[in-house]
Chains A and B, each alone.
Chain A
Amino acid sequence: MSNEQTPEVLKPLRTWSHLAARRRRPSEYDIVTRGFLYNTDHLSGENVPFEQDPDAPMQQWYRKYREGSALKHDDWDAFTDPDELVYRTYNLVQDGQENYVEGLFKQFSDRDHDAGLSEEWMTRLARLYTPARYLFHTLQMGSIYLGSIAPSASVANIFYFQAADMLRWVSRVAYRTAELRLQPTSGDIGERERQVWEKDPMWKGFRELMEKVLVTYDFSEGLVALQLVAKPAVEECLLRALGKVARHNGDALLGLLNDALFVDSERHRRQTRELLDFVSQREGNQAWIDETRAKWLPLADKAIEAWVGGLYDGEDEDIDSIVEVVKKHVEAAYG
């Protein structure tokens, strides 16, 4: 008898081999998400993400900003989006959300809502609202970068969806810009947004914050700067605080629109919170996150102060206490 063992012939399985050992039956999310990012395997050499010269420029970019990033985890693929979104369900959810917004627009347009907006409010919208497409677009760019530098597909996908949501926000501002322009009282709307974004002191803080976030190429620091600091600050100002002021100025539509967009924010926060819990399991990560967040917060505070100041410009309000409330909301974004 030969001592050589005949190798076992592998049998068909019920799911992908890497999921087969788990007790739980895999969901559609598991099947089409887990282990989908192959370049974290380093198959052609130690710490070599891509199948090319080990020191080619992009190898170095990923080695530095992803593999070498501060937050560590033994198994990034184990992260689970609490909504378990896949492409198919994302479109289902967002098509529903868009239908709702389309319905809002129709109802308000049928009642000639914009004709009822005061000239004074129109002037303020040109300063407070229509330039927001630039800011939302920076969120689009920042979100998609986080997806591209994320250490697993399950982490990357939440940012890819978020980037698309930011394009949604840009698009809604664009639509409203065009619609408001139809009014004889629209003034500068649709004409001077870039100038306002680049020159108006109320936008300076957000511009500085976002430009600095965008050049933060490291995954971990980018994650903290965008998700924990910049994005909540933008949302608390541009969606919530602005929505409230809009309602007080006869612009119920903007309030409702912003509430509808905030549904996206709530999902992003759920997902980010889950990611934070996931990375905090490993010792040292939480302290690093707290420290990094504290480093970025002053820039966001500055942005909030300048923007909220502009928001209430000309109104008899205690701006300092409103700023404090907004800051508290930002800090509480992740509960």
Chain B
Amino acid sequence: MAKLKRSDWYDFTRDTNWTPKYVSEEELFPQQMCGMTDAMDDWNSYDEPYKQTYTDYVKVQREKDAGAYSVRAVLERSKMWDNAPAPWRSVLIQHYGAIPLAEYAACTAEAHMTRFSKAPGMRNMATFGCLDEMRHGQMQAYFGHEHVSKTRQADWGWKAYHTNEWASIASRHFFDDMMTTRSAVETAIGLTFAFETGFTNLQFLALAAEAGDAGDHTFASLISSVQTDEARHAQIGGPLIRHMVEAGETERAQKMLDIGLWRAWKLFGTLTGASMDYMAPVELRKHSFKEFMEEWIVGQFERQIIDVGLQKPWYWEHWMKDIGEWQHSVQIGLWFWRPTVWWDHAAGMGPAERDWLEEKYPGWNDKWGKVWDVIIRNVAAGEIEEKVMPKTLPMVCNMCQIPIASGNPGGEWSVKDYQLEQDGRLYHFCSEQCRWVFEQEPARYQGHLDLNDRFLAGEIQPPTLEGALQYMGLAPGEIGDDAERYEWIKKFTRQEKVA
């Protein structure tokens, strides 16, 4: 007799719900951890679109790893590092610091969904999801580790999440909010649907494209391999949302989507946005970040949102504007406050780069270009220490923990601090959306101190930039500098001489 087809027996693996007798349903699935209401029942009908068996999982994953971990791949990566342009190395150092431990933390999120979801199909998918996240944490850490003997900054591949460096605080604040501290329902929407379906597609595909542009094909294939797992376990949220919509819980699902998407945007617009529009060699750049966003978010994710029965988030219009602006504002912040990050941030400036930016983002020269004009003038005059080094900390948002920099500089300067007074404390936000997220559940956020709050509370001593760097765990050898040691300025001075 032949081997059975998966469809002949798969349903038995997810027909595992029972009625508890010796403990109550609420004890077995506490509301805090589960989040499923009585209106949502018939959990056996939860149908995960991507079906995989355990046997296939270990086989396919073993095969995937065999390629990624091959000796040849290791050699290629090592050669790549030595030949890579400095800005691309900075992208790698930033990526390896920001990603692996967050991926590992996602194991907790998947574990919570496995234990506390009432849908058996979801519990099984999340079990694989938990292993996937371990893979992503371990694989990316392992590859990042290969660079530790090249630069001390590579140590942040492990260290970043163990520090109070501001981007680490921002990452923890986001990931803890979306992954580790919510119910199975909220995690499935905020993490798998909003973040993974919406953003890891973007993060990994965009980054893979950028790596390809930079000639780093091994990094491109590494993160494409990660993405194949994401594409599977990201599908946990979709059927759940449909279930919620049918049960009349649309509003709750919509709110969680709106929160998750906005929060993911702020972090990934910062890390990926700036890197895509400024780091890859300009002559090789194929897509702008905005083009990528329009294709993946506007083109594809929007359809998926409607498809599961939800609406575009209320801030959609504002967001569409933001995808052409935020990365440029935050790029200035990241570069100017470069000593406060663990990677050497590249300015990404040069006449050709500016032409590219103007072409992709008409009006760039009149806005962000004007700030760069001043920076370029000061760098060209050799007044780096005096005029283009930060003396204080950036003001950060009480929600996203990222420097407040929304809006446009230049002629229509519109940077605004969105405030909120709650229980006698004044909070500062970068945007209406971050303030709105806070207002949805103040108790979740209000007692948290951001970097500025800690500074004012005297936790950072001495209260100087040096003291702050120490607080952030950044020592000489790790403190970020200009990725090209200001060599890029010659592209401008040479041009002036020719003129």
Contact = CB atoms under 8 A, between A and B. Distances in A.
Interface of A: 7-18, 28, 31-33, 35-39, 41, 43-45, 50-59, 61, 86-88, 90-92, 94-95, 98, 102, 105-106, 109-110, 112, 133-134, 137, 140-142, 144-145, 147-148, 153, 156-157, 160-161, 163-164, 167-168, 170-171, 173-175, 177-179, 182, 190, 193-194, 197-198, 207-208, 211-212, 214-215
Contacts of A156: 107
Contact of B152 (A10, A44, A57, A212): A10
A86 B104 CA distance: 12
A31 B145 CA distance: 8
Given A8-B475, A53-B446, A144-B115, 19 more contacts: A9-B477, A16-B145, A31-B145, A32-B145, A35-B162, A51-B177, A53-B444, A54-B447, A163-B130, A171-B13, A171-B55, A174-B9, A175-B9, A177-B12, A178-B4, A178-B8, A178-B9, A194-B17, A208-B21
B58 A95 contact: yes
B72 interface: no
Interface in B143-184: 145, 148-152, 154-155, 157-159, 161-164, 169, 172-173, 176-177, 180-182
A51 B114 contact: no
Interface stretch (B61-69, B233-241, B307-315, B316-324): B61-69
B59 A52 contact: no
Highest count of chain B CB atoms <10 Å: which of A32, A153, A178: A32
A36 B104 contact: yes
10 contacts: A16-B158, A28-B142, A32-B139, A32-B141, A50-B176, A51-B177, A55-B443, A91-B61, A112-B1, A134-B16
B134 interface: yes
Contacts, number: 263
Contacts of A173: 12
Given A15-B145, A98-B55, A87 B139 contact: yes
A56 B4 contact: no
Given A144-B127, A171-B54, A133 B12 contact: yes
A91 B65 contact: yes
Contacts of B456: none
B73 to A, nearest CB: 13
Contacts of A197: 18
Contacts of B424: none
A13 B446 CA distance: 40
Contact of A13 (B120, B148, B177, B182): B148
Contact of A12 (B32, B148, B476): B148
Contacts of B104: 36-37, 153
Nearest to A157: B134
A193 B16 CA distance: 9
B138 A86 contact: yes
A147 B111 contact: yes
B352 interface: no
A88 B137 CA distance: 12
A134 B21 CA distance: 14
Interface string B3-35: 110001111110111111111000110001100
